Amino acid sequence: MKVGVKILPRKEVLDSQGRTVTKTLQSNKFSVSDCKVGKYLEIEVDAKTEQEALDEVKKMAEFVLYNPLTESYNLEVL
């Protein structure tokens, strides 16, 4: 089973990459008020149910994939 992990910088943390992309889009006449840049991971796990897969990937996320001080994450079964 495949689980997607979306990791984005927390709003309290300055996202310099997102800010740079925002400015580039704005200066090329796109109407953008904000943009965040994060990471997306697709993880293939051996699991019998969706819940089992999500639980397993949640453990991985908390183990190493994200830093709770600076980032937040979301999981989705693909």
Partner 1 sequence: MKKVGVVRFLGTNCDRDIWQACETKGYQPEWLWHEDNFDINNYEAVIIPGGFSYGDYLRCGAMAAKSPVMKSVVEFAESGKPVLGICNGFQILCEVGLLPGALVRNTKGMFVDKWIELKTENPCEHWGASVKESKLPIAHGEGRFHIEPDQLEKIKKSGQIWLTYKENPNGSVEDIAGVLNENKNVAGLMPHPERAMFDWMGGNDGFSFF
Structure tokens at 3: 């689980």
Largest Cα separation within the chain, whole Å, is 49
Which residues 4-33 are close enough to bind partner 1 by CB under 8 A? 16-17, 20-21, 24, 27-28
* Contact flag: residue 37 with partner 1 (CB under 8 A): yes
Closest approach, Cβ 11 to partner 1, in A, equals 18
Alpha-carbon span 3 to 37, nearest angstrom: 20
Contact 37, 71 (CB under 8 A): no
* Contact flag: residue 70 with partner 1 (CB under 8 A): no
Q: Name the residues that contact partner 1, by CB under 8 A.
A: 16-17, 20-21, 24, 27-28, 37
